[in-house]
Amino acid sequence: MRHSLILATFIALVSTACSANPTNHASEPGSPATALVAQFDAAAGELPEGLTVTADSAYVGFAPTGRVVRVDLASGKQAPFAQLPAPVPNQGFLTGLAASPAGDLYAGLASFVPEVQAGIYRIEKGSGEVSLFAKDEALPFPNGLAFDADGALFATDSGTGTVFRVDAKGHAERWATGAELLGDAKACNGAGPGFAIGANGILVEQDAVYVVNLDHATLLRIPRGADGSAGAAVVVAGPDCEALGGADGLARAPDGAFVVAVNRQNKLMRVTPAGVVTTLASGPPLDFPASVAYRGDTLFATNFALQNASAGLPAQPGLVRVAP
């Protein structure tokens, strides 16, 4: 069965194609080779958004169904791992994934109806057992998830423009807010769905938290104070609708650059710490890339394939490997 109602919600909630033709940014010399590690079935609702990578496996979350699968990185073989509360059609979806230092998985579940509780869910590493970990009235749309070295979980909410810090007991603190984290339906010439989608992908380091804003096409740095508090957000790159319009997932490359998945442009962008933006990879097999993660010097990305699947066009939902 095609999940048409859910897909319609995604296309409204996440982004639409830019009304103006974007200018192509030059690819770096020697652009890396990209290849599909695993392919999924769009007709079965297997549209992967969340991603976390271990030494030999990738864990991928299917947004429409709430299902998480394990993908063997050597063979591409898939195996069921966990099932979150199934989103109500047209009213919710599974978003980001992250692995804790202890090895458990955590998943964001957006829900806009009381039948399914929005929040962050914990998935036990051995059994795949699922339990609600954290919730907050300002967390209906949890999206990017990332742990710090001490085991604290940071999460963005793309609807409320909030960065949460969640302790080991599941207490969610509204760690950072502000205009820079909010979405704006009029940004990038109104290319979005008509309502705001802000803070999205997140990266946590010892001295700062980095966040991309989908509507504003920016990469932000939020300093972490000695007491753990959030400083004022500073723009690292953007606003740049041509390069970062549709910014979704975020990762740090081994060379210190940032990698941003720009979903609606089918691109992976490289951003230096100084804010210089270039194209790392673009075009097939990338299909609405959503999340990015490194294993060593190899980059992996989920092909959310949202626009093509929603329009009934040939789609390539899958897991993509980007060679170093």
81 assigned to some structural domain: yes
Is residue 71, in this structure, part of any structural domain at all?
yes
User: Is residue 22 one of the residues assigned to a domain?
Assistant: no
Task: Tell whether 123 is covered by a domain.
Answer: yes
Contacts of 286 (CB under 8 A, 6+ apart): 34, 266, 267, 268, 301, 303, 320
Asked if the structure places residue 20 within a domain, the reply is no
Owner of token pair 């932000």:
220
- Which tens digit of pLDDT belongs to each residue from 275-323? 999 999 999 999 999 999 999 999 999 999 998 998 899 999 999 999 8
CA angle 50, 184, 189 (to 5 degrees): 105
Q: If you count them, how many residues does the chain have?
A: 324
Tell me, yes or no, whether 25 lies in a domain. no
pTM equals 0.91
Write down the pLDDT at residue 15. Answer: 40
Q: For residue range 150-169, list pLDDT tens digits in order.
A: 999 999 999 999 999 999 99
**CATH number where 236 lies:** 2.120.10.30
Q: State which residues form the domain around 170.
A: 4-14+30-322
Query: Max Cα separation, the chain?
Result: 52
pLDDT at 193: 58
Counted domains in the chain: 1
- List, in order, residues 6 or more apart from 322 with CB less than 8 Å away: 32, 33, 34, 268, 280, 281, 298, 299, 300, 301
Q: Which residue has the tokens 């970062």?
A: 244
> pLDDT tens digits, the chain, 324 residues: what are they?
333 434 444 444 444 333 333 333 334 555 789 999 999 999 999 999 999 999 999 999 999 999 999 999 999 999 999 999 999 988 999 999 999 999 999 999 999 999 999 999 999 998 999 999 999 999 999 999 999 999 999 999 999 999 999 999 999 999 999 999 999 989 998 776 566 889 999 999 999 999 999 999 999 999 999 999 999 999 999 999 999 999 999 999 999 999 999 999 999 999 999 999 999 999 999 999 999 999 999 999 999 999 899 889 999 999 999 988
Q: Is residue 152 part of a domain?
A: yes
Q: Is residue 21 part of a domain?
A: no
pLDDT at 17: 35
**Would you put residue 189 in left (φ > 0), alpha (ψ -120 to 50) or beta?**
left
Q: 180 is written with which tokens? A: 């820079």
Instruction: For tokens 């549209």, name the residue.
Output: 47
